[in-house]
Structure 1
Amino acid sequence: MSATTLDRAPAPVVTPAPRGLVRTILRLHRAALWIWLAWVAGTAGLLLWLLGPGADSAQHALETYGYGGLLVTGGPGDAYNSLFYYPDTLISLASFAVALFAGGPLIARELESGTARLAWTQSVSPARWLAVKLAVPAAFIVVGTGLLTLLYHQLWSAHANLLIAGIGPRSLYFSLGPATVAAPLLGLALGTLVGLAVRRTLPALAFSGFAYFLVHAFRGNHWPFQGRYQQPELHSRSRAITSTGARISDPGCYDDKACLARHDVVRFTRAYLPSPDYWPRQLLETGVLLALTAVAVALAFGLLRRRAATG
């Protein structure tokens, strides 16, 4: 073979390693990554405070003043009760934000700007591009929400007796088990599917948020296997204690002094009873969410294949 022939031979095709694609995604979306890490750290810090100093302060009020000590407006018990449910709100908002991020910056913006098609011409197949796009945020979602779920369940197991209300927000049920990890994964899959379908950043943001809002609303009120309340572990047994130390049925008059005097109640005790169907329900819901996630991912890959073929 002559030197001229060698000079004209086409250069070998080099397929970028998956690690290079991962680094590109992390660099491109580093702002979102830092926001996610800050959210996980902040929420974990709140949960650790509730497990430690916050619980100690509320427990001191309970031991010093009885159950009425938890009912003092602005007191440690009242503050603890309010803050206890904040992580649940933060976790729900994070799942919604994941859907927005997937639909807009992660997928639609790159399709709209042509960055994705440029990557496909650089020996990165559309399927690999989408697989890594899903795998990288999914790993951070699983680790972050998994950590917070473990902390939240530990908090509930250790200090639920310090809560003022017997039944808290219905969505708290979701934040105590594996369904909490599966929910944002579904948001990621839905956002990705919407982003591929719309291919424009702002409309994809709107449609992704709306799609996940519908799923979340249906999940919170209409799952047929969750019963009337979505919190099986929140069933409680409350007893009142008289001045003689006798335990009687709870008359339900914590801040009514006349009622307390009439029943000779000096303090209360309360125990939360775990439900035997809590974990079956959690696992069933987790399976449903993961199945919906798998369907959305399959549809996303099918849509991408068709988009790539038609140009």
Structure 2
Amino acid sequence: MSAATLSAPVRRSLPRPRGLLWTVLRLHRTALWIWLAFVAATAALLLWLLGPGADATQHKLDTFGYAGVLDDAYSAKTLLAFTSGTYNDLFYDPATMINIASFAIALFAGGPLIARELESGTARLAWTQSVSPARWLAAKLVVPASFIVLGMTLLVVLYRQLWSAHSNLLIAGIGPRSIYFAIGPSTVAAPLLGLAIGALAAVALRRTLPALAVAGFGYFLVYAFLGNHWPFQGRHQQPEVSSRSHAITSSGARIADPGCYDSQACLAKHDIVRFTREYLPSPDYWPRQLLETGVLLALTALLVTAAFAVLRRRGTTT
């Protein structure tokens, strides 16, 4: 061996992350980036509503009165140049985005996450290389569930802070619609249920398109049930119940609320420049939320158990 050989530095490559969980992350990295982008965009909207958006709306209320806020359409000068509407409208957009995301998670679990690998035979190949079907499915569920819990928890915390700080800027007399769902722990549990529905559909059907369709329809049925049956009634129950609202005239006098929030003629007739609201706490909000969350998590556990049972019963057959 030459001296040159002896003096040459030994190059050692850094060890690459390995393991089943890392494989799942790498295989579905596009979906992961989409999820992170969704969480970042929704969080940015909530932070804007919590800070600059609320300040601008309060300034308009102080300067122009309520009519000025109702007439406003956010222009290119604002951070939300891509969105038009009032602060009241934008307040509910994150809740809509969260509901759509929960539905998309069910579709993802039923299609690309599990069913596609069962249909293509990729899963069966993994099972022949010291990875049991149960361990394979566990990794497929643990990785997305972790990111779902972290992302949704962040959004719920921000939304609750926004509601607590600036719910007074919403149009008086118009109750929050889906805020009930979006600021409670059921927001975290619902997409986990969607993940479980998609997983069960995938292992039962083992075909991408049928599993995707069944997962989407199954989650839609669950969402419809939550919105129309006690104790959920997510589209009707409010975190706070509006007790009284009053109108303020340009002279500062407080008068009875005439109920003309979007009528310029009515506002001018009564010389209204702003509204005020007083709240009474809703005593059954948290009992309903906790009960709903418990039911969702129990259903999730049952569906996940059923998915493992179906996978074990069918074994590695296609």
TM-score by length of 1: 0.86
2:150 counterpart SS class: helix
Question: Does residue 181 of structure 2 align to residue 182 of structure 1?
Answer: no
Of residues 198, 208, 222 in structure 2, which corresponds to 1:191? 198
Equivalent position of 2:53 in the other structure = 54
Counterparts of 1:220 and 1:306, CA distance in 2: 35
Question: Does residue 311 of structure 2 align to residue 304 of structure 1?
Answer: yes
Equivalent position of 2:126 in the other structure = 119
Equivalent position of 1:9 in the other structure = none
Taking a change above 3 Å as real, the CA distance of residues 130 and 247 of structure 1, as seen in their structure-2 partners, is: same
203-212 or 165-174, larger mean C-alpha shift: 165-174
Counterparts of 2:52 and 2:303, CA distance in 1: 43
Q: Offset of 1:288 from its aligned partner?
A: 0.9
Question: Does residue 143 of structure 2 align to residue 144 of structure 1?
Answer: no
Q: Offset of 1:175 from its aligned partner?
A: 0.4
Q: Offset of 1:154 from its aligned partner?
A: 0.8
Counterparts of 1:42 and 1:301, CA distance in 2: 34
Equivalent position of 1:3 in the other structure = none
Q: Offset of 1:302 from its aligned partner?
A: 0.8
Equivalent position of 1:63 in the other structure = 62
Question: Does residue 250 of structure 2 align to residue 251 of structure 1?
Answer: no
Equivalent position of 1:15 in the other structure = none
1:164 counterpart SS class: coil
| Contact 2:64–2:273 under 8 Å retained in 1 | no
Counterparts of 1:156 and 1:133, CA distance in 2: 35
| Contact 1:104–1:204 under 8 Å retained in 2 | yes
Taking a change above 3 Å as real, the CA distance of residues 111 and 43 of structure 1, as seen in their structure-2 partners, is: same
Counterparts of 1:78 and 1:55, CA distance in 2: 14
1:33 counterpart SS class: helix
Question: Does residue 42 of structure 2 align to residue 43 of structure 1?
Answer: yes
219-228 or 143-152, larger mean C-alpha shift: 219-228
| Contact 1:138–1:185 under 8 Å retained in 2 | yes
Provide the aligned length of Structure 1 versus Structure 2.
294
| Contact 2:227–2:234 under 8 Å retained in 1 | no
Taking a change above 3 Å as real, the CA distance of residues 202 and 261 of structure 1, as seen in their structure-2 partners, is: closer
Counterparts of 1:56 and 1:144, CA distance in 2: 26
Matches within 5 A, 1:107-256: 107-164=114-171, 166-168=173-175, 170-224=177-231, 226=233, 229-242=236-249, 245-254=252-261
Taking a change above 3 Å as real, the CA distance of residues 114 and 152 of structure 1, as seen in their structure-2 partners, is: same
Note the alpha carbon deviations across 1:128-147, whole angstroms, 9 max, x for none. Answer: 11111111100000000110
Note the alpha carbon deviations across 1:107-164, whole angstroms, 9 max, x for none. Answer: 1111111111221121111111111111110000000011011111111111111112
Counterparts of 1:246 and 1:285, CA distance in 2: 44
Output the amino acid matched with 1:26.
Answer: L
Q: Offset of 1:272 from its aligned partner?
A: 3.8
Output the amino acid matched with 2:139.
Answer: V
TM-score by length of 2: 0.84
2:298 counterpart SS class: helix
1:270 counterpart SS class: strand
Q: Offset of 1:230 from its aligned partner?
A: 2.2
Question: Does residue 130 of structure 2 align to residue 106 of structure 1?
Answer: no
Counterparts of 1:264 and 1:41, CA distance in 2: 42
Taking a change above 3 Å as real, the CA distance of residues 114 and 274 of structure 1, as seen in their structure-2 partners, is: same
Taking a change above 3 Å as real, the CA distance of residues 257 and 49 of structure 1, as seen in their structure-2 partners, is: closer
| Contact 2:65–2:272 under 8 Å retained in 1 | no
Taking a change above 3 Å as real, the CA distance of residues 256 and 36 of structure 1, as seen in their structure-2 partners, is: closer
Counterparts of 1:188 and 1:27, CA distance in 2: 19
Output the amino acid matched with 1:277.
Answer: D
Q: Offset of 1:249 from its aligned partner?
A: 2.7
Equivalent position of 2:288 in the other structure = 281
Q: Percent identity?
A: 75
Tell me how large the CA RMSD over aligned residues is.
2.5
Equivalent position of 2:14 in the other structure = none
Counterparts of 1:264 and 1:83, CA distance in 2: 27
| Contact 1:171–1:220 under 8 Å retained in 2 | no
Q: Offset of 1:202 from its aligned partner?
A: 1.2
Equivalent position of 2:22 in the other structure = 23
Q: Offset of 1:73 from its aligned partner?
A: 4.8
